[in-house]
């Protein structure tokens, strides 16, 4: 049930990295607007908070894709193991 979602999220790591960097850039822009609004007009803070919402969405979406790609590689390497109880073979 969870494996197809992990494989689908991690199927395109370059796109996930692009989404993460876009979210990170929007986050930096939002922090700049919030800081400018602290020293000048308060409406810049509101603009910063509005930009912060999609920034966090894209950053989390991209990071979850990156994590899913790495985790799917771990799942792929964990194949079924032969549990033979006879140690003296």
Q: Tell me whether residue 86 is in a domain.
A: no
- Of 2, 4, 57, the C-alpha closest to 27 is 57
The overall pTM is greater than 0.85: no
Note the pLDDT of residue 2: 76
- What's the farthest any 2 CA atoms get from each other in the chain? 78
Residue 88 or residue 68, greater confidence: 68
Q: Tell me whether residue 49 is in a domain.
A: yes
Q: Tell me whether residue 43 is in a domain.
A: yes
Residue pLDDT, tens place only, 67-83: 988 888 887 777 666 66
Domain count across the chain: 1
Note the pLDDT of residue 87: 63
- Of 69, 71, 31, 66, the C-alpha closest to 51 is 31
The parent domain of residue 30 ranges over: 22-77
Note the pLDDT of residue 74: 81
Residue pLDDT, tens place only, 21-56: 999 999 999 999 999 999 999 999 999 999 999 999
Whether residue 15 has pLDDT greater than 80: yes
Note the pLDDT of residue 4: 79
């Amino acid at each position: 049930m969870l494996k197809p979602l992990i494989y689908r999220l991690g199927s395109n790591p370059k796109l996930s990295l692009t989404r993460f960097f876009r979210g990170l850039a929007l986050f930096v822009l939002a922090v700049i607007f919030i800081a400018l609004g602290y020293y000048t007009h308060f409406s810049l803070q509101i603009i910063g908070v509005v930009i912060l919402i999609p920034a966090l969405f894209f950053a989390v979406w991209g990071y979850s894709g990156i994590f899913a790609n790495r985790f799917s590689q771990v799942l792929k390497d964990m194949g079924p193991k032969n549990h033979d109880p006879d140690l003296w073979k």
